Structure 1
Amino acid sequence: MLKKQFKTTRVFRFKRFARKSYSVFNSLHKTVTIGVLSGCALISAHATTVEPAERVYTQTSTDSIPPTELDEVVVTASKVDLPLNLAAKQVTVISRQEIERAPVRSIEDLLNYVAGVDILQRGPHGVQADISLRGGSFDQTAILLNGVNLTNPHTGHYSFDIPINLSDIERIEIVQGPSSLVFGASAFSGGVNIITRKDPESNGFAKLEGGMYGLFGAEARGAYKTENSLHSLSAGYKHSDGYIANSDYNIVNLLWQSRFDINGSNLDVMAGLNDKKQGANTFYSAAHPNQFDDTQGIFASIRGETGGRLKFIPHIYWSRHYDEFQLYRDGTPDIPATYKGHNYHRSDVFGMNLNMQYASRWGITSFGGEFRNEGIMSNVLGKPMDDTIGKYTKSDSRTNISYFLEHNFIFNRFTLSVGGLLNYNTAVVDKFNLYPALNASYRPSKSLKLYASWNKATRMPTFTDLYYTTSTHTGNSNLEAETSEAFETGLKYIHPVIKGSIAAFYMKGRNMIDWVKTSSDALWESRNHTKINTKGLDATLGLDLKEWFGANQPFHSFSMGFMVLDQNMVESGLISNYVLNPLHYKFTAALHHDVLKNLSLSWNFRWQEREGSYVQYVDSQPGERVDFTPFSLLDVKASYRFPHVDLFVNANNIFNTTHVDFGNIPQPGFWLSGGASIRF
């Protein structure tokens, strides 16, 4: 059995990296192969793609990593991939099993079940939602797909316009708190890294579903494996007529992935397309119920990785996002003569990075850099163009250059990560800034981990923050970059029966950017808040009931989470659209159990209370200022499993609770859907 476990460790790139038997000469030889294919070994921000593994034991030489029982997954909470129990920072992992059990239709819906995550939805099922971590705004969270930073410089509203279906996901990693060293300068309050499936055993998958409000969905995925490569292609389509007027949507996703094994080194190629068309009832202005959004996002990336003690990881990526925003949807009657037409935007991101890693008896050293260029063309945002291009009359661009260095000291009971990011942006003249990170964990026993961290981060304003000026909004081209500094301490306990964690955190935000107004009749304006301090506590508990009570009883698992957050609002008299409206409390709970053989139920409950207030509109006119009210929701999924076919029914918001995440945008009441999936 032990011999088999040693063999299984080969699935860990972490193991391959640390093994002393690989010579430095061999590493350099492999680097040439990857370097030619990548085309640039310039500078880079780390982007990682890691794979799940069984619980195994690994044994390494005395000058690398000490023998230890590895956790189920290797995570990306530092510049190097480390087993979860060795990582010096707290990471929340949503597993594939949890995803399959959840009564959801999108990543945004799924993240709602995490107590430490605030999802502010304008539309359900992936139409549009903003993600907030630790009280930060949606623009302050980095969104990554297999390590590719797809955070949108136009506006964070579109950062989730990514081409992925739930059935494509292996797991989701959530890193709370400033993470510029890990995910790049945009990870001001944290990051979400979505890891796709790479298993060649699931060669085919298809799913059909339907439900209330004209809901229809279809997904298909296929994989093809050769001796030295693995290729997969997935496609998805989602549609609804809408639960209220002008809330219909059509969403298409396409994702292609290929992995090549070249003399022991890996080359990953990925490309995707996301196409959305949705009615945007009061999305951005409660005075206009007939808004419409038509967006397309495309991206491509190439990433290489060598093995051995000296590792090279070059990466090139590109993404483009189109947006046509209609304040008055085509066909709306009585459009005012003052309306000048729709808004058109095209944003582009191009990045190159190189991460070099070296393993020694003192741990793992990672160093490298990133070049990232962000640009926009628009008829609304930017500076006037000398020569217009089609509908685009304005443009702007900026380049971010960063260098990083991190060292992980890894011992039997202790992990210490020390590093920093040296960052320069062309929008900030002649100024390099250093953002250090210090993370430590101590394992007094195999099950218990104590940790503490100190991190600093930054974020540049989006192009919307800088330039969006209309009859209701005023942009501010003089906005300064935001900065944050965070302290965190906590513990995590892992046992076959019980898993739990608790964390206390404190974050100081400076020059925080928000859209605010001084009164209900004033214009929204973007401005820097002088100071916002955030402190809070979050805790989780998970029970494996099969392990506890035995396999001959119906209950599988139970989990719950709680977060409390408090902000010191320096300018609390302002009406805020984002920053000053954090969740104050959030509680989640989930139960999975059998009803009959092959028939199971999954229950997901959440209760939350939000700070702040909003101006309530009546008949498209501003009225009184009202506080957000607490609400609770209960969702349930019933699944019946055959050998290759699953039947399921989702009942969301079964008590038909009225609630809002943003003021004046009602969220769906009771929604019933169901369908079937097949595995080939």
Structure 2
Amino acid sequence: MRKSIKSPGMAFRFKRFARKKFSVFNSLGKAVTIGVLSGCALASAHAVSVNPKEKSELQIAPDTLQEVELDEIVVTATKADLPLNLASKQVTLITSADIERAPIRSIQDLLTHIAGVDVQQRGPHGVQADISLRGGTFDQVAILLNGVNLSNPQTGHYSFDIPINLSDIDHIEIVQGPSSLVYGASAFAGGINIITKKDAHSNAFIEAGAGMHALAEAEARLAVKSQPWLNTISAGYQRSDGYMDNSDYKIANVLWQSQFRTNDAAIDIQAGFNDKKYGANTFYSATYPHQFDDTKGIFFSVKGESTGKLKLMPQIYWSRHYDTFQLFRDGTPNIPAWYKGHNYHRSDVFGANLNMQYASKLGITSFGAEMRNEGILSNVLGKAMSDSIDNYTLSDNRTNISFFAEHHFVFDRYTLSVGGLLNHNTALPDQFSFYPAINASFRPISELRLYASWNIATRMPTFTELYYTTQTHIGNTDLEAERSEAFEVGLHYRKNIFRTDLAAFYMRGRNLIDWVKTSPDALWESRNHTKLDKTGFEASVNLNLAEWLGSQQPLQTFSIGYMHIRQNLLKDELISNYALNCLRNKFTASLQHEIVKNLSLSWNFRWQDRVGTYVRYVDLKPAETVHFKPFSVLDAKIAYQWKKMSFFVDANNIFDKKYIDLGNIPQAGFWLSGGANIRF
């Protein structure tokens, strides 16, 4: 998995190993070719297997150059793509192999198995979940699909309403810590980039499954290649009666992607549709168990990439999200007279950005700009409209404009990147803010990478935080933008069968936004907390047991992960709904082994301890403030491979653990399901 190259500073060149396309930069008489994994953010602390025919070819100038070993993994946790050993941030990659052996039904389920990710599920199997990183909130994480930022400006509750099926995913990149320079101003606590498969030839995939609680699901995927085009289309459907009253759901996804490749240019087009309907029992307030949500999401994007001395990567995208929220589900008896009707929302995001990269003997320089417009139409959120549109009587709109620049110095064992983001939002008139980033790494030996980073980021309040005022909540139009500053040091060690990562961080949060109340009987209010500091560390160990102990024994892979966060509590005795309820400890472990030939069993265990409180309700009324209790869950998947077919059975929450991890919502108990798939 390594190649030796010789490099005086940046006088080396990579050839694309995964897409067979390359960009050539000439500088001072020396060719510098930077390998790019198009559309992907492949930043990883894990290894990726590469077909030998697709391995990167590294061409060098032969004279007076010093030899350096680099991993064949391209990372884009910065604005420029670099090999893994030159990266200067902690990043985690979930591979397609990880996904195939996990007992899961959605991306949200998958992320529960990562120690550094906090997942608070309201509904199972991707119905709705709040995803946060390093003690942040769900609104502080940027969610991307192939580099397109689909974060929802209405509320982060809907940021995963994206048209993606598990069979579409090649890998998922998780970048921890403030990442405004990389993913835009909204990446306050980090970013999650979902990367779809880039098929090399025509193929097809079909899967069907069923399980307890009337679970039924189906997925189909088709790829057709006709040089220079590759088109893929996938569709998925899942439904269940739910594990408790009013927890039923129906989810449908359609995703189309088209890729155009020549030696001179690349174009990536994608479009998708997501439809969810689900019972939302106590999702937002335990006073109302008959809530219901009906959401739809549409998106479209086009990305280009040129070749030449100056590489240009323009991108445009548009996404729209519809939300019809019913506090009382249609058909609910005895609806109170004060309830005048459902909440209707339509949010639109339009963005355009241009990233440019220039390589020279001094390194790689990335620079460019982005414009992102966010708007909402609603009958609950926003300012009064002069003329209503359908059910919408309120609206708001803002535009975020960013200019960025970053330069990477790469000298043998050292990497240093310095950059910053200059940001302006029209909701903050006459105000430009600068968010710098400095990242450095050092490789004392080829297997070990030490790194340190300093980053500052921001986040604008969502339209829900600004305007949502109901029987239970009070919005706040005077909210200020959040600001975070993080320092991090860590190491990454990799040698044959053994990989380990360790990171320690300190994060300072200012003007943090949260929904709080002064007593159990009070209303929830959105407020800025003036100060919230966090310290913590993450550690992981991964063992390839099959390579270590030999292929004749049954054990294949084993991994463990642990995260610890400590945060100062505010002096006021506010009851927090989100910001103060972070994970204090999370431990994960997974083991995969064979039972007999082609029959494998995967175990996934997690234990977590959440700091903070929630208001316990009795008979639909607030009773007392209680602390979250630690809990553990064990999941398992058994799979049998026969030629091109695979048969599997998932057992989730094997010991039927009863626990609450968010508000008053009891989580699903034991759930058995299974199915089969075939690849053509």
- TM-score normalised by L of structure 1: 0.94
**Partner AA of 2:590 in structure 1:** A
1:35-84: CA deviation from partner (whole Å, max 9, x where unpaired) = xxxxxxxxxxx994367745746434469998654435322200012222
Where does residue 439 of structure 1 map in the other structure?
439
Assess if the C-alpha contact under 8 Å between 2:17 and 2:56 holds in 1.
no
Task: Map 1:17-56 onto structure 2 (within 5 A).
Answer: 17=23, 20=26, 48-49=39-40, 53-54=50-51, 56=55
Q: Deviation at 1:661?
A: 1.7
Task: Map 1:597-636 onto structure 2 (within 5 A).
Answer: 597-636=597-636
Question: Is the alpha carbon distance of 1:483 and 1:269 closer, same or farther for their aligned partners in structure 2, counting shifts above 3 Å?
Answer: same
Distance 2:70 2:182 in 1: 21
**Partner AA of 1:78 in structure 2:** T
Where does residue 114 of structure 1 map in the other structure?
114
Greater Cα offset, 655-664 or 349-358: 655-664
**Partner AA of 1:199 in structure 2:** D
Where does residue 230 of structure 1 map in the other structure?
230
Greater Cα offset, 89-98 or 185-194: 89-98
Distance 2:243 2:373 in 1: 39
1:144-194: CA deviation from partner (whole Å, max 9, x where unpaired) = 000000000000000000000111000000000000000000000000000
Residue 556 in structure 1 maps to residue 556 in structure 2: yes
Distance 1:259 1:591 in 2: 37
Q: Deviation at 1:570?
A: 2.1
1:394-440: CA deviation from partner (whole Å, max 9, x where unpaired) = 00000000000000112221111110000000001101000000001
Question: Is the alpha carbon distance of 1:323 and 1:465 closer, same or farther for their aligned partners in structure 2, counting shifts above 3 Å?
Answer: same
Where does residue 8 of structure 2 map in the other structure?
none
Question: Is the alpha carbon distance of 1:14 and 1:564 closer, same or farther for their aligned partners in structure 2, counting shifts above 3 Å?
Answer: farther
Distance 2:72 2:521 in 1: 54
Residue 104 in structure 1 maps to residue 95 in structure 2: no
Q: Deviation at 1:257?
A: 0.4
Task: Map 1:90-489 onto structure 2 (within 5 A).
Answer: 90-201=90-201, 203-489=203-489
SS at match of 2:86: coil
1:455-507: CA deviation from partner (whole Å, max 9, x where unpaired) = 00000000000000001100000000000000000101011110001100000
Assess if the C-alpha contact under 8 Å between 2:13 and 2:60 holds in 1.
no
Assess if the C-alpha contact under 8 Å between 1:200 and 1:224 holds in 2.
no
Assess if the C-alpha contact under 8 Å between 1:23 and 1:309 holds in 2.
no
Q: Deviation at 1:643?
A: 1.1
Q: Deviation at 1:617?
A: 0.6
Assess if the C-alpha contact under 8 Å between 2:24 and 2:32 holds in 1.
no
Distance 1:25 1:654 in 2: 57
Distance 1:219 1:72 in 2: 32
Where does residue 32 of structure 1 map in the other structure?
none
Where does residue 672 of structure 2 map in the other structure?
672
Assess if the C-alpha contact under 8 Å between 1:57 and 1:68 holds in 2.
no
SS at match of 2:646: strand
Distance 1:201 1:572 in 2: 60
**Partner AA of 2:22 in structure 1:** R
**Partner AA of 1:655 in structure 2:** F
1:608-646: CA deviation from partner (whole Å, max 9, x where unpaired) = 000011110112111111100000000000000011000
Assess if the C-alpha contact under 8 Å between 2:17 and 2:57 holds in 1.
no
SS at match of 2:444: coil
Distance 1:151 1:580 in 2: 22
Where does residue 45 of structure 2 map in the other structure?
none
Distance 2:141 2:569 in 1: 20
Assess if the C-alpha contact under 8 Å between 1:181 and 1:420 holds in 2.
yes
Question: Is the alpha carbon distance of 1:9 and 1:68 closer, same or farther for their aligned partners in structure 2, counting shifts above 3 Å?
Answer: farther
Q: Deviation at 1:540?
A: 0.3
Q: Deviation at 1:658?
A: 0.6
Task: Map 1:66-85 onto structure 2 (within 5 A).
Answer: 68-85=68-85
Assess if the C-alpha contact under 8 Å between 2:210 and 2:674 holds in 1.
yes
Distance 2:28 2:674 in 1: 52
Q: Deviation at 1:19?
A: 5.4
Residue 11 in structure 1 maps to residue 17 in structure 2: yes
SS at match of 1:464: helix
Question: Is the alpha carbon distance of 1:573 and 1:143 closer, same or farther for their aligned partners in structure 2, counting shifts above 3 Å?
Answer: same
Where does residue 59 of structure 1 map in the other structure?
58
Greater Cα offset, 303-312 or 528-537: 303-312
SS at match of 1:443: strand
Question: Is the alpha carbon distance of 1:481 and 1:173 closer, same or farther for their aligned partners in structure 2, counting shifts above 3 Å?
Answer: same
Distance 1:486 1:129 in 2: 25
Q: Deviation at 1:89?
A: 1.2
Percent of aligned pairs with the same amino acid: 63
1:252-299: CA deviation from partner (whole Å, max 9, x where unpaired) = 000000000245210000000000000000000000000000000000
Q: Deviation at 1:201?
A: 3.8
Greater Cα offset, 195-204 or 386-395: 195-204
Assess if the C-alpha contact under 8 Å between 2:118 and 2:583 holds in 1.
yes
SS at match of 1:466: helix
Distance 1:131 1:22 in 2: 47
Assess if the C-alpha contact under 8 Å between 1:47 and 1:147 holds in 2.
no
1:531-559: CA deviation from partner (whole Å, max 9, x where unpaired) = 00011011000000011111111111000
Distance 1:524 1:389 in 2: 30
Distance 2:71 2:296 in 1: 38
SS at match of 2:87: coil
- Structure 1 spans left out of the alignment, 5+ residues: 28-45
1:78-102: CA deviation from partner (whole Å, max 9, x where unpaired) = 0012222221211101111101110
Assess if the C-alpha contact under 8 Å between 1:476 and 1:526 holds in 2.
yes
**Partner AA of 1:288 in structure 2:** Y
Distance 1:567 1:550 in 2: 44
Question: Is the alpha carbon distance of 1:388 and 1:66 closer, same or farther for their aligned partners in structure 2, counting shifts above 3 Å?
Answer: farther
- Structure 2 spans left out of the alignment, 5+ residues: 6-11, 43-47
Assess if the C-alpha contact under 8 Å between 2:656 and 2:669 holds in 1.
yes
Assess if the C-alpha contact under 8 Å between 1:370 and 1:401 holds in 2.
yes
Q: Deviation at 1:11?
A: 2.3
**Partner AA of 1:280 in structure 2:** A
Q: Deviation at 1:20?
A: 4.0
Distance 1:167 1:138 in 2: 25
**Partner AA of 1:602 in structure 2:** S
Distance 1:110 1:151 in 2: 19
SS at match of 1:85: helix
1:87-146: CA deviation from partner (whole Å, max 9, x where unpaired) = 121110111110111000100100001101000110110000011101111000000000
Where does residue 30 of structure 1 map in the other structure?
none
Where does residue 517 of structure 2 map in the other structure?
517
**Partner AA of 1:418 in structure 2:** V
Distance 1:15 1:439 in 2: 28
- TM-score normalised by L of structure 2: 0.94
**Partner AA of 2:352 in structure 1:** M
**Partner AA of 1:456 in structure 2:** I
Distance 2:243 2:392 in 1: 34
Assess if the C-alpha contact under 8 Å between 1:615 and 1:626 holds in 2.
yes
Q: Deviation at 1:571?
A: 3.9
Question: Is the alpha carbon distance of 1:21 and 1:409 closer, same or farther for their aligned partners in structure 2, counting shifts above 3 Å?
Answer: closer
**Partner AA of 1:611 in structure 2:** V
**Partner AA of 1:49 in structure 2:** C
Where does residue 39 of structure 1 map in the other structure?
none
Q: Deviation at 1:362?
A: 1.5
Assess if the C-alpha contact under 8 Å between 1:59 and 1:66 holds in 2.
no
Where does residue 42 of structure 1 map in the other structure?
none
